[in-house]
Amino acid sequence: MRNFFIYSVLILISTVLGLYLREVYFAYEEWEIELGTTSRIERAAKAAGADWDDRTKVEVIRDLRKEGKDAFPAMAPSVFVDDNGIPYHDGRLFVFGGISRATTVFCNEMGQWSIYTSDEHGFNNEPGLYRPDKLDVALVGDSFTHGACLPPRKDIASLLRKDGWRTLNLGIGGTGPLIYLAVQREYAKPLRPKHVFWLFYAVDIRDSVYEKVSPTLMRYLKDPAFSEGLIDRQPEIDAFLREFLNTGYQKKLDELTAARQVRREIITKRLIRQGLKLTKLRDRLSHFGGRTLVTEGREGEKLALLKRILTRAKEEVEAWGGKFVFVYLPDWYTYGAKYDTYGIPIDENFLLRQDVLRLVKRLGVPTVDVQARVFDQHPDPVSLYNFRTYGHYTPEGYRLVEKEIARFLKSEDTGGSDRKPEK
């Protein structure tokens, strides 16, 4: 009886410990994703034996400046949405490009930092592309368009140029559809390219609702004539950004770091309280096999706002005789997990994918569905994400996206027969 009692206690302790270890696993997964950390990629890279540059972005910039290079960080305009831009003279200025012709430090997901020399308006291009009526394509989008986190000239626009298409990259990391509209207005409209491709990353469905808190960004939507005239103000923008990035930008980053720490503490305390009750584990067990309905939240609001933005963008492009094209880029969760961090199954309408595609079709916008035509057809789509984890595409992933866009362009027969690829 004594041995039976001891064994029973040990089994009970082991069972309880196992349950709490599982709860900790679920809680940490949610904690890490909610805080947006990139540590998972670094861990996966080191586990794969890849070399990894452990320097921070600040340290990389400092080292480049020691070498005499004019180095600055790639600035994310989304950082200033809550403040409606950056204080400037007696008002505020919302800038979208960076400092022109500067060594720009972007991101690290492959082991080495992505560093490029910005063009004459601070975007990731070779110089000399800003010529009215001379462009085949302008690409508008977030970090996937920008070229995260690639070596120079491996981004989608550069690959299209190598295939002979005169292409301008207007992508900016961490942005959504309202900023896309602003960028199109400021930089594509004066150039009147034949095509404007919006590279819509699946998670972008959430960004517009956040961006609409900015009166300036909403003005781009409400007033088709509104512009800050940024393409003609680059010397002024350069002088302003140089001072700001050396002073105010760091202050802003410090504020965001402090806010992030507060959020970290709030999330951690919440997960600890839930963990003591085995909330995550009980939730998974109560929905064993997965829930039957994916709920994005605020679905109607997100789709209605996206419809207004796409309608405005399409009208603007067609007004100068161009064609507006929608490109759908998939998120890692579509292929990398059966359920999200809350135990909800990843179904065909994850991130309102089907609703978005139906909306675009109703608006009469041509679509390049990269998810359906590229990733769904690939034998191992997870391999197209860096180190097979949540983040951006590998160089091969970007190459396949470019090939699908080039296929669309060739089908349009816009003069491709007389094009000569770059050497």
Of residues 158, 62, 40, 203, the one with CA closest to residue 109: 40
Q: How many CB atoms neighbour CB 420 within 10 A? A: 7
304-174-37 Cα angle (round to 5): 115
Q: Give the pLDDT confidence score for residue 39 in this predicted structure.
A: 73
Question: At residue 185, what is the residue type?
Answer: R
pLDDT of residue 294: 44
Per-residue pLDDT for 339 more than 80? Answer: no
Half-sphere exposure of 380 (CA within 13 A, CB side): 9
Q: Which residues contact 421 (CB under 8 A, 6 or more apart)?
A: 162, 163, 164
Q: pLDDT (tens digit, 9 = 90+) per residue, 280-306?
A: 556 655 555 444 454 677 899 999 999
Q: Is the peptide bond before 107 cis (omega within 30 degrees of 0)?
A: no
Q: Which long-range contacts (CB under 8 A, 24 or more apart) does 150-158 make?
A: 150/110, 150/114, 150/395, 150/398, 151/112, 151/114, 151/395, 152/115, 152/116, 152/117, 153/126, 154/395, 154/398, 155/124, 155/398, 156/199, 156/398, 156/401, 156/402, 156/405, 157/124, 157/125, 158/126
- Cα 95–100–105 angle (5° rounding)? 85
Dihedral pair phi/psi, residue 52, rounded to 5°: -140, 125
Tell me the domain boundaries of the chain. 47-246+294-418
CA 211 to chain centre: 14
Question: Residues 1-19: pLDDT tens digits?
Answer: 667 777 777 777 777 666 5
Q: How is domain 47-246+294-418 classified at the architecture level of CATH? A: 3-Layer(aba) Sandwich (3.40)
pLDDT in tens, 221-250: 999 999 999 999 999 999 988 888 877 555
Report the share of the chain in percent with pLDDT over 70. Answer: 78
> What would the pLDDT profile of 198-228 be if each residue is shown by its tens digit?
999 999 999 999 999 999 999 999 999 999 9
Q: Identify which of 248, 249, 195, 205 has the alpha carbon closest to the alpha carbon of residue 351.
A: 205
Q: How many helices (H) and strands (E) does the chain have?
A: 16, 10
CB-based contacts of 238, cutoff 8 Å, min separation 6: 99, 100
137 is written with which tokens? 């394509």
Strand partners of residue 88: 91
More confident residue, 276 or 148: 148
Q: What is the pLDDT of residue 413?
A: 61
